[in-house]
Structure 1
Amino acid sequence: MNNKNEEFRNVSKPHALPIDAILADLRSDRDGLSSDAAARRLERLGPNRLPEPPKEGQLKRFFKHFHDTLIYILIAAGAVTAVLGHWVDTGVILGVVVINAIIGFIQEGKAEQALEGLRKMLSLQAHALRDGEWRETDAEQLVPGDIVRLRSGDRVPADLRLMEAINLRIEESALTGESMPTAKNTEAVRDDAGVGDRSCMAFSGTLVAAGRGTGVVVATGAQTELGKIDRMISEVQTLATPLTRQMDKFGRTLSIVIVGMAALMFLTGWVLHDFSLDELFIAAIGFAVAAIPEGLPAILTITLAIGVQRMARRKAITRKLNAVETLGSVTVICSDKTGTLTRNEMTVVHLVTGDGRYDAEGSGYAPRGGIHREGRQVTIADHEDLRRLVEIFAVCNDSAIVEDNGQWRVIGEPTEGALKTLAKKAGFSDKGYQRLAVIPFESENKFMATLTRSSGKGTRILMKGAPDRLLDRCARQAGKNGREEPLDRSFWEEQVDALGARGLRVLAAAIREVEEEKDELAMEDLDREMVFAGLVGIIDPPRPEAIAAIKTCRQAGIRVIMITGDHAGTAAAIGQDMGIGSGREAVTGDAIEAASDEELGRMAGESDIFARTSPGHKLRLVQALQARGEVVAMTGDGVNDAPALKQADVGIAMGIKGTEATKGAADIVLSDDNFATIERAVQEGRTIYDNLRKAVVFILPTNGAEGLVVLVAVVFGLELPLTPVQILWVNMVTAVTLALALAFEPSEPGLMSRPPRKTDAPILDALFLWRIAFVSTMIGLATIAVFIVQRRLGMDLPAARTLAVNTLVFGQLFYLFNSRFLHESSLGFSRLFANRVAWLMAGVLTMLQMVFVYAPFMHSWFGSASQSLRYWPVPLGIGLSVFLAVEAEKALLSRRT
């Protein structure tokens, strides 16, 4: 036993080195380490676990919602009113700011859970050889040089270089994306082999599907392949969403305009009129408060939250609010293959015998569908060649399929499960078969054989496995009517190539009758005496609804790219079936590895299928697409997808078969693991963006009208028609009632026939800016006119201001129904009454205004006053006039365009 702990060194590329060289570098041997040596290494290297991620405190998460230019201006306005002693104004302004922060804090939800999900994948216990004895050891105590034993069902506790592999197959799909368990052996591979091709390695966090093995630990904790993914996730910088960038730019521009206009107004009042400093400060603050759409952040958040609920009903669960809107601007969807585009359920689709070809209906493990030949359904009773082929695959089999709550699943190997499903579809029963002996599948042999006895059929050897291995052991084949004839190897090789070219996994079957009393099975019993029975082609079938969804995405101008860890031929064939790749060959991970960033950008622009990819390759591809200006959605279910999901503009994880790490890194989780749900989520995202634009175009005229009222009053030396707190009241009640109704607007016709919107396009185009200016001027001038007229008629100041507030509110209420259709007319019974929420919110707003006008406590808080019923037709008539004027403007612009 070698215990020279201080002299061991890390092993680079252990998959390319022989075992003896690795043991020498690690100063270990086949008897493992001593407890003392392991303890010293553990002290030097630390425990075998992933590092804890830094966590953002609750206070930091709350206060970051104040980090907005417009919010800074409101806080400054609140400070000035406090200095001037206007405490009600200060309380209302700061109350609005805090409410906005609380809404954002609540809606943001939980912090990132990606790294926590990775840590859950690590094994808790391991069987290690210490002091010459096998012991169950805490997996965190493992160190490089430890010898570890693996058995079926174990989770691999660290990265191991295998020393022994007996029928060992490991489920690595979470790490590599490959749909089938990987057969393992002890032979070194080339040094540039990708993770999925390192057949002599067992990686931390993967699951032993079958067999047993022994390996030496070559990496622990952060140095494992799982640790490298962990590091990639932590290093990925989350990009700002298109809406975030647009709103930041809009907020900065608006802030500069507001501050400049307030300063200019202050100077104008100072130079032209004899306002006191107190009055000028209040007027400037009133203008700033009027011009700032402080309700906009809240209504954006609420609109997104409503969109989240609508998406959840469509099987897309959103973890981050801004991802909802970003979906609407997606230009590329990068999708994993297994489980997303396909069902992740192996299915036999084609059978070939010496007498003909057959097709199997259905998909997945549910035994529904029949077997057809030349378009007609057939039975095994009428076709001996078919019966024999099905019999071999069903009996020479260690798996089973069971029904669980209406869902069929496989117990054992997925491929063998597909063969059991085939047998049930054919009506074959394996009852009455007695297994006498077995040669299990091993990666060196690539076949399985059983010695089986059944009543009426005697004792026979049944064999299934790789076609080339079985052809080597057969001299004859089963021909028409089950008669034996000389083996036509070239024919079978052509059939294997044809099935393989379609992306199918091909298995062969063979049979031989032996003497009745035989009860043992050896390798020499399988040499050149077997009778070749035929082939089956197995596929992980595409989801039919995913094919339709991909077609819809293309119509919407969205490109779909497949990025998978599976083999290039399988990926290309599946892509062709689904309408991805236009029949081109897949680009492999080796080509990605060798490409420069510039070359990879060209590949990402030209190719739609990428195969045998590692986590680093997926991350680079997403970055290359983003560098080309694309807005990228990335889907996945394995840990290998997590870094790319976090890098993407929208990360989409599978909720059923996805790992916790993948769900934690994602923005959206699909509860049905279906690509078609992504297409529906994109449609919802586009609808939400439309509704957000409607909300902005609706809210801003309120601020424009209020700002115009204050500006005109100061420039012309008039009394202020509105106070700052009254302005805040109008802004908040219209935003949280009327603007909220727009969040419930349904999708507009032809939504998924539009191209994705450009990410650099302004949220407000020329038409919308004109609409905002037009409506702001109408409502603002009407408000000023009402105030001036009533003051000249002798109405006291609080009552005149109350009437001015009502004019503003009801002008905005009628304008809501214009905003439901930005380009088309809102006239017509069906359109006016299509959104019940709009009428509900109109009723709520009316009641709030009644409280504002008639509640005594509102009089003291907001300076309002009770109003006689004879004054109510004034704001209602002005509101109706605004509605009709905007409809006339729509009609005029429609004719001109």
Structure 2
Amino acid sequence: MIKDTQSNKLKGLSDDEVVESRAKFGQNSIIQQKKNVFLHSVLEMIIEPMFLLLIAAASIYFIIGDYGNGIFMTAAIILVSTISLYQESKSRSAIHALKKLSQAKSRVIRNNKTVEIPSEEIVMGDLIQTEEGTFIPADAMIVQSNDFAVNESILTGESMAVFKNESATNNTVFMGTIVTSGLAICKVTAIGNKTQLGKIGKSLEEIAVEKTPLQVQIGSFVKKMSIVGIIIFGIVWAINYYNSGAVLDSLLKALTLAMSIIPEEIPVAFTTFMALGSWRLMKMGIIVKQTKTVETLGSATVICTDKTGTITENKMSLAQVYIFADDSVSNDFSSESSIELLTIAMWASEPIPFDAMEIALHEAYAKLKIADERPNFSLVHEYPLDGKPPMMTHVFENKIGKRIIAAKGATEALIATSNLSENEKKEVLTAMKKMALEGYRVLGVGVANFQGNDYPEKQQDFKFDFIGLVAFYDPPKANIKATFETFYNAGIQIKIVTGDNAETTATIAKQVGFRNADKTLNGDELMAMDDATLKTRVMETAIFTRMFPEAKLKIIKALKDNNQIVAMTGDGVNDGPALKSAHIGIAMGKKGTEIAKQAANLILIDDDFSKMIGAIAMGRKIYSNLKKAIQYIISIHIPIILIVFIPLALGWIYPNIFSPVHVIFLEIIMGPTCSIIYENEPMERNLMQTEPRPFTNTFFKLNEITISIIQGIVITIGLLFIYQYCVNINCSENTTRTLIFLTLIAANIFLTLTNRSFYYSIFTTLRYKNNLVLIIISATIVMTTSLLFIPLFATFFEFEKVSGIQIGLSITVGFVSVLWIEIYKGLKRRKTSDLK
């Protein structure tokens, strides 16, 4: 038995010794060959199509002796590059902060106390305390252990657990291996790169991260547009060369169109949205281990949640006892029979309790006015929590050979291993059901006699004397009812998956407003079903009871077969496979085991399930805002492409309205608009009252992409109207260019405002709190005004002074070509209102 650290004189290192050890041996982290992240980012940027086009344009300007435009393009390249690198740096910083927060924690003995620290802070000579469900954080030698076994498959490939103890030759443990049973105190012998894991170079950093469906879709779209750009570039160059015979001038004009086609803002927007979304979730108390999880959050259709610690407080208190000998239920724990029952239940608990029920038992036992026999006994054999339903057994012995074999677990498990008649079983089950209907968590307790040291392989092979039941009350969380209601309104199903019995779970569920609490299914029934039956039942059932790992996995699979996007909460070792299998695995930060945290995608730092409302809302908001940004990019790129291509292709009087300097100026405006304004947009108020978005292979619905294309075409019509107006009144090419550019800027500003929502009117969205809208739009207006009224800039951009009426006309056309969408949104709201 592992006693407290003081009685065993395991004081651990002092603070000074920790500092000295760290200075001598370094950090406990596997350090990979350092990459120059900045250089890597620069190299990636250089091979981007837009960057290559800008370099080409700048080079041609210098070759033909147009140094003004060449210098401007060079400055634009530096500016665009700086913005791009800054955004990437911001995203990288957010991801780095997330990684730091999601680092594993370990328990160590220092200064005669057990403390929890990040595993990276472990030093040589530390005493680490490991227990079932944790990862070994460093190579170490076992000092004390109890029924201790580890899975070393990460090193050996062998999946079977290996039993180890301090007296055996096999008394070492290794970083990255998993404790499968028992507990041990170990002295650290190697850290970081000096560990076995470090030597063979296994690190998560080396694993290539698979791209998400949305990343693939966006990458595919940008690639296709780049191919289109190359083809049209060739056509435009050929037309210009045929007309002028000038190779370099034709190349410049073709480059103008190619630059207008490539939507390079989209990948930047995606990276920014996901990274900053993860950072915002971190600020809310939710650690996102991989930014791609943010993409999936908004699609969640089903949440499978545990009962204890998720719906309830996980603050167990002993409520009642059932004495089998008297067939009586009591809340008086001072009677002789109650003391006997509680003493046996305590012997069946871990010596160092970490489970809420075991903590409650230890606390109740400490209040009994009896002599504590525990220091006189040692734990000589242990059967960990096991079976369907589960139970656990401890074998204690003192120096004179007196033996105590105590067990506790699910009532059905203790009944199955006890010598009870059918009538006695009915009595026990009736008592259990009565307790459960009051919302209590119920455990059976028993003792056994066994001579010799050749213990049975399974604890179920003992024959126990049934002693009674202990009932615990775990109150529901105060906010859980409102949390459930929010999920229901958002079109998300909730299913309770628990190891507890149906009566207790249903009672608690009804107390918190959980729907369909009477629709239950237990683990054995579930496992007996064929896949087709389960596929139907899993959608109808709200509460799954007496669950075990295999059953949980079957639930997740059946829900996936129904095309559901599944979120799963968990905290125990046995939850690991289900958390890994779910689309969104959610581990508890406080009471969750390291295995659960490693398997999960999200970690709720303070175990507050209500934070999942914010997480799903954030997922929906990010997806919605990203769509707005991309729709904006599509809508504004179309008029730029067409106003460059149409006059040239149709041989109009002014075939080259824009040059590369005009396009790059527009790109400088559009980039911050889509990546900064839309990323910072607040969540629309109806977002959590709608059904989850389908998790499909297409980013946009047909009507959404159609609306964006129509927006772009209508803006183009406005630009062509201004073009023809200028031609008809005999304006010069520079005047025509000025008015078209001004119209496009005006349309861009109004498009930014209207596309903040495709449902609510612009008068509603103007009240949204987003200070960046005013900053970016003001900056756009100031820069455009400078180009028009500062002679140096006007000459450089080949603009001409225009009248106030002409400026008003351009703004009006820009306004009309965009604001028609408000009529569409009004009809959409009316249709929604009529359906209610």
Per the TM superposition, whether the score is higher than 0.5 is yes
2:623 equivalent to 1:681: no
Q: Measure the CA separation in 1 of the matches of 2:414 and 2:571.
A: 35
Long gaps (5+) in structure 1: 1-48, 126-137, 143-147, 176-190, 215-219, 359-370, 372-379, 400-409, 451-461, 475-487, 511-530
Alpha carbons 2:572, 2:592 under 8 Å: kept: yes
Q: Measure the CA separation in 2 of the matches of 1:226 and 1:598.
A: 44
Match of 2:741 in 1: 805
Greater CA drift, 571-580 or 236-245: 571-580
The equivalent position to 1:265 in structure 2, one of 233, 236, 242, is: 236
Structure 1 residue 328: Cα displacement: 1.0
Structure 1 residue 814: Cα displacement: 1.8
Alpha carbons 1:802, 1:865 under 8 Å: kept: yes
Alpha carbons 1:398, 1:412 under 8 Å: kept: no
Match of 1:57 in 2: 35
Greater CA drift, 870-879 or 348-357: 348-357
Q: Measure the CA separation in 1 of the matches of 2:591 and 2:288.
A: 17
Q: Secondary structure at the match of 2:750?
A: helix
Structure 1 residue 284: Cα displacement: 1.8
Q: Measure the CA separation in 2 of the matches of 1:261 and 1:436.
A: 88
Alpha carbons 1:572, 1:585 under 8 Å: kept: no
One-letter amino acid of the structure 2 residue matched with residue 249 of structure 1: S
Alpha carbons 1:695, 1:742 under 8 Å: kept: yes
Structure 1 residue 856: Cα displacement: 6.3
Alpha carbons 1:330, 1:631 under 8 Å: kept: yes
2:702 equivalent to 1:766: yes
Alpha carbons 1:342, 1:542 under 8 Å: kept: yes
Change (3 A) 1:634 1:52: farther
Match of 1:816 in 2: 752
2:588 equivalent to 1:654: yes
Structure 1 residue 330: Cα displacement: 3.1
Equivalent pairs counted in the alignment come to: 715
Q: Measure the CA separation in 2 of the matches of 1:605 and 1:161.
A: 49
One-letter amino acid of the structure 1 residue matched with residue 620 of structure 2: R
Q: Measure the CA separation in 2 of the matches of 1:83 and 1:609.
A: 72
Equivalence map 1:203-352=2 (5 Å)? 238-271=209-242, 273-274=243-244, 276-304=246-274, 307-308=277-278, 310-333=280-303, 339-340=309-310, 343-352=313-322
Match of 2:15 in 1: none
Alpha carbons 1:169, 1:211 under 8 Å: kept: yes
Q: Measure the CA separation in 1 of the matches of 2:554 and 2:270.
A: 33
Structure 1 residue 245: Cα displacement: 2.6
2:630 equivalent to 1:696: yes
The equivalent position to 2:647 in structure 1, one of 688, 692, 713, is: 713
Alpha carbons 1:124, 1:157 under 8 Å: kept: no
Equivalence map 1:12-27=2 (5 Å)? none
Alpha carbons 1:713, 1:720 under 8 Å: kept: yes
Equivalence map 1:547-586=2 (5 Å)? 549=483, 553=487, 556=490, 558=492, 582-586=519-523
Structure 1 residue 261: Cα displacement: 3.1
TM-score by length of 1: 0.61
Q: Measure the CA separation in 2 of the matches of 1:744 and 1:68.
A: 28
Q: Secondary structure at the match of 1:820?
A: coil
Change (3 A) 1:114 1:878: closer
Alpha carbons 2:265, 2:674 under 8 Å: kept: no
One-letter amino acid of the structure 2 residue matched with residue 82 of structure 1: S
Q: Measure the CA separation in 2 of the matches of 1:221 and 1:699.
A: 47
Q: Measure the CA separation in 1 of the matches of 2:579 and 2:196.
A: 17
Structure 1 residue 704: Cα displacement: 0.7
Structure 1 residue 439: Cα displacement: 5.9
Structure 1 residue 721: Cα displacement: 2.0
Q: Measure the CA separation in 1 of the matches of 2:822 and 2:183.
A: 75
Alpha carbons 2:60, 2:248 under 8 Å: kept: no
Alpha carbons 2:213, 2:697 under 8 Å: kept: no
Match of 2:49 in 1: 72
Q: Measure the CA separation in 1 of the matches of 2:535 and 2:207.
A: 19
2:819 equivalent to 1:887: no
Equivalence map 1:600-615=2 (5 Å)? 611-613=547-549
Structure 1 residue 639: Cα displacement: 7.5
The equivalent position to 1:96 in structure 2, one of 68, 74, 80, is: 80
Q: Measure the CA separation in 2 of the matches of 1:858 and 1:387.
A: 95
Q: Measure the CA separation in 2 of the matches of 1:235 and 1:638.
A: 28
Q: Measure the CA separation in 1 of the matches of 2:662 and 2:371.
A: 89
Alpha carbons 1:114, 1:663 under 8 Å: kept: no
Q: Measure the CA separation in 1 of the matches of 2:525 and 2:45.
A: 44
One-letter amino acid of the structure 2 residue matched with residue 773 of structure 1: I
Match of 2:66 in 1: none
One-letter amino acid of the structure 1 residue matched with residue 226 of structure 2: S
Structure 1 residue 107: Cα displacement: 0.3
Equivalence map 1:32-51=2 (5 Å)? none
Match of 2:360 in 1: 418
Structure 1 residue 810: Cα displacement: 1.0
Q: Measure the CA separation in 2 of the matches of 1:60 and 1:332.
A: 41
The equivalent position to 1:107 in structure 2, one of 91, 107, 118, is: 91
Alpha carbons 1:233, 1:646 under 8 Å: kept: no
Post-superposition Cα deviations, 1:397-450, rounded to whole Å, max 9, x if no partner, equal 989xxxxxxxxxx987744531466699xxxx66x7665887658557858999
Alpha carbons 1:722, 1:804 under 8 Å: kept: no
Change (3 A) 1:591 1:548: farther
Alpha carbons 1:632, 1:650 under 8 Å: kept: yes
Alpha carbons 1:93, 1:725 under 8 Å: kept: no
Change (3 A) 1:156 1:77: closer
Match of 1:537 in 2: 471
Structure 1 residue 553: Cα displacement: 4.5
Equivalence map 1:738-817=2 (5 Å)? 740-787=676-723, 789-790=725-726, 800-817=736-753
Post-superposition Cα deviations, 1:303-343, rounded to whole Å, max 9, x if no partner, equal 44554455345332445444323211234556677655665
Q: Measure the CA separation in 2 of the matches of 1:700 and 1:677.
A: 34
Q: Measure the CA separation in 1 of the matches of 2:34 and 2:562.
A: 32
Structure 1 residue 681: Cα displacement: 0.8
Higher Cα Rg, which structure:
1
Q: Measure the CA separation in 1 of the matches of 2:210 and 2:503.
A: 31
Q: Measure the CA separation in 1 of the matches of 2:760 and 2:599.
A: 44
Structure 1 residue 872: Cα displacement: 3.2
Change (3 A) 1:598 1:396: closer
Post-superposition Cα deviations, 1:743-768, rounded to whole Å, max 9, x if no partner, equal 44444455345443233353333323
Post-superposition Cα deviations, 1:576-629, rounded to whole Å, max 9, x if no partner, equal 96579942222799999xx9x999999999996795439xx9999979977986
Q: Secondary structure at the match of 1:264?
A: helix
One-letter amino acid of the structure 1 residue matched with residue 649 of structure 2: V
Q: Measure the CA separation in 2 of the matches of 1:884 and 1:297.
A: 28
The equivalent position to 1:847 in structure 2, one of 773, 778, 782, is: 782
Q: Measure the CA separation in 2 of the matches of 1:389 and 1:724.
A: 91
2:659 equivalent to 1:723: yes
Alpha carbons 1:634, 1:645 under 8 Å: kept: yes
RMSD over aligned Cα atoms: 6.5
Alpha carbons 2:272, 2:675 under 8 Å: kept: no
Change (3 A) 1:698 1:120: closer
Structure 1 residue 886: Cα displacement: 2.4
Post-superposition Cα deviations, 1:192-245, rounded to whole Å, max 9, x if no partner, equal 99999x9x999877789999899xxxxx999x9999xx9797898744323213
Change (3 A) 1:709 1:748: same
Alpha carbons 2:305, 2:497 under 8 Å: kept: yes
